[in-house]
Amino acid sequence: MISEEEQKKEGKNEKLLADLCECYISLNYLLSSEMISICVPCLLKVALKKEESEEAQEEVEVDLLALSIVKYYNIERNMYLNEIREIIKYHQEHHNLTHLAYQYAWRFLINRLHRDESLEEVIVNELHFGKEAARELEELRKNVDWTRKEDERGKETKEVLVITGWMRTIKFYFDSCKLWNEEYVELIGSVVQIYRTAKDNYEEIRYW
């Protein structure tokens, strides 16, 4: 269905194609190179939307979630880099993405480090991952009630889930990237602050 929709010269249903691509990536453990070459550009095109309505934000969040799942596959730079760079830079200026969507955008890009170490320069010195991740952690930390009791487990707020995701993304970055700059002092400080704040009541955050 994806191939048929993509090959249409007229009357292509972009919304249907994006929905199919989301499903394909989410439901398949092994992705074919043909489908990656269709799905990644399709979903990035949707994620480039600059509308700030709640509906548009939710659509972009789901698309970036699907992209963040695509981990160890070889994807040509010309298929994604300009688009994901624009998505991240535009958010840094206009704050149009949700916290989750922004995290997924970074995760998609950092996942590419596995096959392309030259992305380090873009991630560290152009897009300022250290500073951005530290800022996100600090903003999210302020919106959580860290005094949660033992009998309240399982009632995590959305912010806690996003923080957990950031900790996982940061760990993958530290595992994959050798290039650091002075912004990482701030990031490490934020990680330590999150650990100290969460260690008594939030086991998963403490773990990551």
pLDDT band at 169 (very low <50, low <70, confident <90, very high): very high
Q: Is the pLDDT of residue 150 over 60?
A: no
Q: What's the whole-number mean pLDDT along residues 100-106?
A: 96
CB 142 within 8 A of CB 193: no
Predicted pLDDT of residue 123: 96
Q: How far is CA 134 from CA 78, 158, 186, in A?
A: 29, 18, 6
Mean confidence (pLDDT) of the chain? 90
Handedness of CA 158, 127, 17, 4 (dihedral sign): negative
Residues whose CB falls within 8 Å of the CB of residue 5, separated by 6 or more in sequence, listed in order: 12, 13, 16, 17, 20
Q: What's the whole-number mean pLDDT along residues 14-40?
A: 92
Predicted pLDDT of residue 128: 97
pLDDT band at 53 (very low <50, low <70, confident <90, very high): confident
Alpha-carbon distance of 57 to 74, in angstroms, equals 28
Q: What's the whole-number mean pLDDT along residues 5-29?
A: 90
Residues whose CB falls within 8 Å of the CB of residue 130, separated by 6 or more in sequence, listed in order: 124, 180, 181, 183, 184, 186, 187
Alpha-carbon distance of 137 to 30, in angstroms, equals 32
Q: What is the dihedral of CA 70, 73, 74, 77, to 10 degrees?
A: 10
CB 38 within 8 A of CB 21: yes
